[in-house]
Amino acid sequence: MYKDFIGKQSAKIKNIIEWGAVKKFAEAIGDAHPIFIDEEFGKNSIYKTNIAPPTFPRVLEFGEIQGLVLPEKGLIHGEQVFKYKRPLLVGEEIYCYSKVENCVEKKGATGSMCFLTISENGEDVNGELIFTSKLVVIITEAVRRGIMS
């Protein structure tokens, strides 16, 4: 069902890494490191600005992959891994997109399961990759059939 989407990606969406959003995110996750929340500390750091926490991309816009519709209920979050070339800098403009990387079907005790791997990627204005987040979503047969409510 989802194998036809392997290799498809969304259009790139412009995101601005805003200081207020970074500060609120850091506070929400309980990480009060001054590199995230103190503007003066950021100005005096090696980056000359604040940076975003590693999981900050969860709040960015990545666009939609045309035609890919995931069930609204019953998805299982399998895993998520973030890889960075460098930190996200407060004030920078980045372009984000998502891409279906893989789809593996496995048989389980309750029927088949689809392990859908989606990458979420962020590039700078020159098209250089800054980060990639790979996320595995598990879709059970019951969810695909709409049995879950």
The whole-number pLDDT of residue 149 equals: 40
Over residues 43-67, the pLDDT tens digits come to 999 999 999 999 999 999 999 999 9
Which contacts (CB < 8 Å, 24+ apart) does range 24-32 have?
Answer: 25/52, 25/53, 25/56, 25/59, 26/53, 29/53, 29/55
- Of 97, 93, 22, 15, nearest to 54 (Cα)? 22
- Quote the pTM value: 0.88
Question: How open is the CA angle 54-15-90, to the nearest 5 degrees?
Answer: 55
Integer Cα distance of 114 and 123 in angstroms:
29
Q: Which amino acid is at 93?
A: E
Q: All domains of the chain, ordered by start, with CATH?
A: 3-16+61-144 (3.10.129.10)
The pLDDT value recorded for residue 35 is 97
What contacts 130, CB < 8 A, 6 or more positions away?
A: 84, 85, 86, 88, 94, 122, 123, 124
**E strand or H helix at 43, and its extent?**
helix 39-43
Residue 52: strand, helix, or coil: coil
For residue 76, what pLDDT band results from cuts at 50, 70 and 90?
confident
pLDDT at 141: 80
